Chain A
Amino acid sequence: MNTAATETRSVIVEREIPFPPEKIWRALTQPHLIEEWLMKNDFQPVVGHSFNLRGDWGAVDCRVLEIEANKTLSYTWDAMGLTSTVTWTLTATGSGTHLRMEQAGFRTDQQQAFQGAKYGWQKFFASLEQVVARAG
């Protein structure tokens, strides 16, 4: 396994959703709706706006990078020693929307990863358990 500090990797999740982009856009950009599917937050749809996503295990530091209403939303996602960028892309289809999320980033270093993991041990190990279960 290559764990070089500068290595950039990404996670992509895509789904066909039977609702129009405008509706999904609201769920992605209105704080009370974001809270329902992601985390408590002080998001504002303004480029450069810094906000937090707050879970029971800690917080994610974010900053809005790019907004194009009903099409693209991108923000930084820094947590648990991971510096990354989350980009949402909405494409209208005949029956709804193709929704794509890409999280691209890299680990800064082991030390920071460990510091981050310390306050989230329970969450961290719950995730590990899933990883281990899947690896089986």
Chain B
Amino acid sequence: MRDLHSALFRSLADPTRRAIFERLCRDGEQTVGALTTKSGVSQPAVSKHLGVLKEAGLVRDRREGREIHYSAQRNALAPLIDWTSQMAGYWQSRFDKLEDLLKRMDQ
């Protein structure tokens, strides 16, 4: 579980890679060429980023004729967005702030 978390986290920690993943989520399946046009980096760089995303299970590729089409696998994000873990930490810190406030308040 920990390895899965860190692989996903590492693959999305890079802003260019995150932008590519976001674009695939938003606009659907695309070729490397189409992604390169909008990304502002070279095609080999885009291909490399796609390779990392594919390794983490975040994108899938499909060959059609001479072109390879990439699509986002949103379900791969599920292990990262276990909301209960996030919210438990959030509420603990809110309780701390609430207690601080109560100490400062008038009766």
A-to-B contact residues, CB < 8 Å: 1, 3, 9-11, 13, 15, 17, 19, 23-24, 26-27, 33, 36-38, 80, 82, 99, 101, 103, 105, 107, 110-111, 113-114, 117-118, 121, 125, 127-132, 134-136
Specify which chain A residues have a CB less than 8 angstroms from the CB of B80 in the assembled complex.
128, 131
Which of B35-43, B48-56, B63-71, B96-104 binds A?
B96-104
Q: How far is the CA of A99 from the CA of B91 in the complex (A)?
A: 12
Q: Verify B5–A135 contact, CB threshold 8 A.
A: yes
Cross-interface CB contact of A125 among B5, B13, B87, B97, cutoff 8 Å: B13
Give the number of residues in B that approach A within 8 Å (Cβ atoms).
38
Q: Verify B100–A37 contact, CB threshold 8 A.
A: yes
Specify which chain B residues have a CB less than 8 angstroms from the CB of A82 in the assembled complex.
83
- With contacts A26-B105, A33-B105 known, what are 20 further pairs, Cβ within 8 A? A1-B79, A3-B75, A13-B91, A17-B102, A27-B98, A27-B101, A36-B101, A38-B97, A82-B83, A105-B83, A114-B74, A118-B22, A121-B18, A125-B9, A125-B12, A130-B86, A132-B2, A132-B9, A134-B85, A135-B1
Given known contacts A110-B75, A114-B77, A131-B86, A17 and B99 CB-to-CB distance under 8 angstroms: yes
Specify which chain B residues have a CB less than 8 angstroms from the CB of A11 in the assembled complex.
84, 87-88, 91
Q: How far is the CA of A10 from the CA of B84 in the complex (A)?
A: 7
Q: Verify A13–B88 contact, CB threshold 8 A.
A: yes
* Interface assignment of B82: CB less than 8 Å from any CB of chain A: yes
Specify which chain A residues have a CB less than 8 angstroms from the CB of B101 in the assembled complex.
27, 33, 36-37
